[in-house]
Amino acid sequence: MNNATPINRRITLAARPHGLPAPQDFHLQTQPVPVPGDGQVLLRTLYLSLDPYMRNLMDEVGPGYAPPVALGATMVGGTVSQVVQSRQPQFRPGQLVLANAGWQDYALSDGTDLLPLDDMAQPSLALGGLGMPGFTAYVGLLDIGQPRPGDTVVVAAATGAVGSVVGQLAKLKGARVVGIAGGADKCRYAVEALGFDLCLDRREPGLGERLTAACPAGIDVYFENVGGDVLDAVLPLLTIGARMPVCGFIAHYNQASSSAATDRLPKLLATVLQKRVRMQGFIILDHYAERFADFRREMAEWVAQGRVRLREDVIDGLEQAPLAFAGLLEGKNFGKLVVRVADR
Amino acid sequence: MNNATPINRRITLAARPHGLPAPQDFHLQTQPVPVPGDGQVLLRTLYLSLDPYMRNLMDEVGPGYAPPVALGATMVGGTVSQVVQSRQPQFRPGQLVLANAGWQDYALSDGTDLLPLDDMAQPSLALGGLGMPGFTAYVGLLDIGQPRPGDTVVVAAATGAVGSVVGQLAKLKGARVVGIAGGADKCRYAVEALGFDLCLDRREPGLGERLTAACPAGIDVYFENVGGDVLDAVLPLLTIGARMPVCGFIAHYNQASSSAATDRLPKLLATVLQKRVRMQGFIILDHYAERFADFRREMAEWVAQGRVRLREDVIDGLEQAPLAFAGLLEGKNFGKLVVRVADR
């Protein structure tokens, strides 16, 4: 466009999706770049994070931990942004920050939600393994799942932003790790690159039988991030005293309604009772104050040592965000999905 | 019958029930009273406990924590029994013991599962508030539910063996207690005799609306012992960080199959996640070694001080056990259900 009068492209929520979000549920708008007021910082988005939780915020009734996105409002999202102008003494132009600028080129912030990223070689990792998704894996697996050496840990979406870290942390703690992923290439990667003991392709038939064979001593920790068929296959295999941190249900996010042929609730409750399962939901926002510093220190070390590998799936162009996001909900990404919006 | 050659009446499992147990699922047999061998004790049943868990043991596939009752075998159950003959030095004729004699007049034991009850004024309480059901309430509410002063605690089957103790212990801990029970008389009793703040009649329409009105600050602890409609009404009211000890599902025990119009699992999972609920199943057998001594000491004190009231629903005659048991599953009992099999 015109470099003299830069514009801000933003993607708004045009309609509430039924099931999987469609292109017409979004609207790409242009507007002048906003001008920072007193105490404000103008940010330019370099990377936008796309994460499954965003689907929850597109419904009329939000998930409770964050308000739904209003129709016509810019889609929310974590970003790595560069400071363009600053009327805040703590920030200087050119500086990289972790921000919540949403699906747009430019945004204003009062600085309170910004985290400087000056020292990072690969700043987009602050949206993935070194950021919210990695922290989700860390708190959910270590604090709630509490794997012991020799335990069998199962995680689905095994090469995704959260699942890939869950499995690697479980290996670090001495557990046996069985992943579930969509496609032979992802399964191979989980075993060969990430060090999982096994990885099952959820697209092949007979997941229940294959999971049973893969877990001869049962499942001690199931990190729940998908729901659906995987949960059905896991339930009969849980051991006595099994732990089930509940992080999300990507398989349910796009169900337009919850009608089904059978009610699976009694089966779940019976399993929870008979196996003395501890099932615990968590929202990662609750844990930053207490655990984020530990996480950043430990995870940075593990990544530097090569003990945890982080893979990104980088899509170019803000305008690609709606399609990439729908693909994320279908498991089309391979690694942490980020959109490269602009170069530094 | 003939006092010279006494007989043992026993009730066996004749068929595996579909849904609610029917009279023809049981068989009343007579046989000679067994003769104790070396190291054995002959017991005569005074009181037989009837408890919901027995329904689980009537299915072909057992619940995991105990083997299913075989077809033709005597129904299992806790009893207060009197020692008739003893070839064990620790036990003497006339002594009262807590036993697992099952649904019959006489039984043999090697003594390892017997607990002397000599000092109890009302020994049948060892089957209720001072025994397994009271212990279930104690561990589930205090160790898992962890009510804090001012919390709202909800418990169904509010006048039953477990629910009545849950509510009273929650009051002792400073919580606000809302019970749910079947019928106006039980609800009145829960409030007037047991000290619950409120008790809702589950037979009246609009349970969800009434529970919402009864819990303006939400529900911090839901002691799950019924499932079904009550759980549906509770889920939307759970507060962030709510605890849900899972003790049983009387509403599901008699479902011949789990087919239903809607799948309620996604709604449960979404609630667990959004409200960060900790849901934990427990089987009381796991906790005797660690907690039973504490329980007996504390509970005996509370009962002696009149701070916990225990109500029994006593049925006369072993032959009434099948009908009384079916009634228990339908909520027809009022207080802990015991069968008086013989007088001391």
ipTM: 0.85
Residue A110 CB neighbours (<10 A):
14
Query: Strand, helix or coil at A165?
Result: helix
Residue of A nearest to B284 (CA): A276
Residues of A in contact with B272 (CB under 8 A): 246, 279-281
Q: In what order do the strands lie in the sheet with B278-281?
A: A198-201, A176-181, A152-156, A219-223, A238-246, A278-281, B278-281, B238-246, B219-223, B152-155, B176-181, B198-201
User: Residues of chain B with pLDDT > 90: what percent?
Assistant: 86
Q: Do A274 and B224 touch (CB under 8 A)?
A: no
Of B248, B264, B268, the CB nearest to A273: B248
Judged by CB atoms closer than 8 Å, whether chains meet at A272 and B252 is answered as no
Cβ distance B265 to A263 less than 8 Å, yes or no, reads: yes
pLDDT bucket at B256, cuts 50 / 70 / 90: very low
Give the tens place of pLDDT for each residue, B90-113. 999 999 999 999 999 999 999 999
Task: Give the β-pairing of A41-49 and A26-32.
Answer: unpaired
The shortest C-alpha distance from A242 to chain B (Å) reads: 10
Give residue for tokens 């075998």.
B73
Closest CA relative to residue B78, chosen from B56, B54, B48: B48
Nearest CB to A281 within list B264, B272, B281: B272
Q: Do B278 and A277 touch (CB under 8 A)?
A: no
Chain B contact set for A272 (CB, 8 A): 246, 279-281
Q: How far apart are CA B288 and CA B295, in angstroms?
A: 9
Contacts of A282 in chain B (CB under 8 A): 273, 276
Q: Which pLDDT value is given to residue A258?
A: 45
Sketch the domain layout of chain B as residue ranges: 7-126+310-340, 132-284
pLDDT attached to residue A283: 92
Contacting B with CB below 8 Å, chain A residues are 63-65, 224, 227, 231, 240, 246-249, 252, 255, 258-283, 286
What average pLDDT does chain B have? 93
**How close, in Å, is residue B65 to chain A by CA atoms?**
7
Residues of B with CB under 8 A from a CB of A: 63-65, 224, 227, 231, 240, 246-249, 252, 255, 258-283, 286
Provide the pLDDT confidence category of residue B146 given band limits of 50, 70 and 90: very high
Instruction: Flag if A272 and B255 touch (Cβ within 8 Å).
Output: no
- Across the A:B interface, residue pairs with CB atoms under 8 Å apart total 134
pLDDT digits (tens, 9 = 90+) for B34-71: 999 999 999 999 999 999 999 989 999 877 778 999 99
Q: What is the pLDDT of residue B261?
A: 67
Best of B265, B274, B277 to substitute, by most chain A Cβ atoms within 10 angstroms, is: B265
* Residue with the larger pLDDT of the pair A222 and B265: A222
pLDDT at position B148 over 60: yes
CATH class of this structure's domain B7-126+310-340: alpha beta
pLDDT at B254 > cutoff 80: no
Pick from A242, A238, A184, A240: which is nearest to A211 by CA? A238
pLDDT band at B131 (very low <50, low <70, confident <90, very high): very high
**pLDDT tens, residue by residue, A273-316:** 989 999 999 999 999 999 999 999 999 999 999 999 999 999 99
pLDDT in the model for residue A15: 97
The SS3 of residue A120 is: coil
Distances (CA, A) of A198 to A141, A213, A332, A336: 18, 11, 21, 21
* E strand spans, A79-228: 79-86, 96-99, 106-109, 115-116, 152-156, 176-181, 198-201, 219-223
Mutate which: A57, A279, A285, vs B, most B CBs within 10 A: A279
pLDDT exceeds 90 at position B174:
yes
Cβ-defined contacts of A324-327 (< 8 Å, 24+): A324/A50, A325/A21, A325/A50, A325/A54, A325/A55, A326/A20, A326/A21, A326/A22
User: Are the beta carbons of B214 and B200 closer than 8 angstroms?
Assistant: yes
In chain B, the percentage of residues whose pLDDT exceeds 70 is 95
Q: Which residues of chain A have pLDDT under 70?
A: 1-5, 250-261
Q: Which residues contact B274 (CB under 8 A, 6 or more apart)?
A: A63, A64, A65, A281, A283
CATH topology of domain A7-128+310-340: Quinone Oxidoreductase; Chain A, domain 1 (3.90.180)
Considering only residues B2 and B209, tell me which one the structure prediction assigns the higher pLDDT. B209
Q: How far apart are alpha carbons B252 and B257 in whole angstroms?
A: 9
Mutation for testing the A interface, residue in B55, B224, B246 having most A CBs under 10 Å: B246
Among the four given CATH numbers 3.40.50.720, 3.40.390.10, 1.10.3720.10, 3.40.50.300, the one describing domain A132-284: 3.40.50.720
According to the model, what pLDDT value does residue B1 have? 41
The values of phi and psi at residue A51, to 5°, are -140, 150
Spatial contact of B135 and B165, defined as CB atoms under 8 Å apart? no
The radius of gyration computed from the CA coordinates of chain A, to the nearest angstrom, equals 21
pLDDT of residue B2: 42
Distances (CA, A) of A187 to A89, A191, A217, A268: 48, 6, 21, 28
Q: Can you give the pLDDT at residue A250? A: 67
- b/e map B229-243, b = 16+ CB within 10 Å: ebbbbbbebbbeebb
pLDDT band at B305 (very low <50, low <70, confident <90, very high): very high
Query: How high is the pLDDT of residue B121?
Result: 86
List the single residue in B259, B273, B282 with the smallest CB-CB distance to A281: B273
CB A113 within 8 A of CB A88: no
Contact A273 B246 (CB under 8 A): yes
Closest chain B CA to residue A286: B276
CB contact under 8 Å between B279 and A272, yes or no, is: yes
B6: confidence class by pLDDT, cuts 50, 70, 90: confident
The pLDDT value recorded for residue B65 is: 77
Cα distance between residue A264 and residue B261, in whole Å: 11
Shortest distance between the Cα of B153 and any Cα of chain A, in A, equals: 19
Looking at residue B64, its pLDDT comes to 74
SS3 state at A198: strand
A265, A272, A284, A287, best to mutate vs chain B, most B CBs in 10 Å: A265
The more confident residue out of B331 and B199 is B199
Helix (H) or strand (E) holding B105: none
Give the torsion sign (CA, A142, A146, A152, A153): negative
Q: How many CB atoms lie within 10 A of CB A20?
A: 15
The minimal CB distance from A279 to the residues B65, B263, B272 is found for: B272
State the DSSP string of B216-247: TT-EEEEEBSS-HHHHHHHGGGEEEEEEEEE-
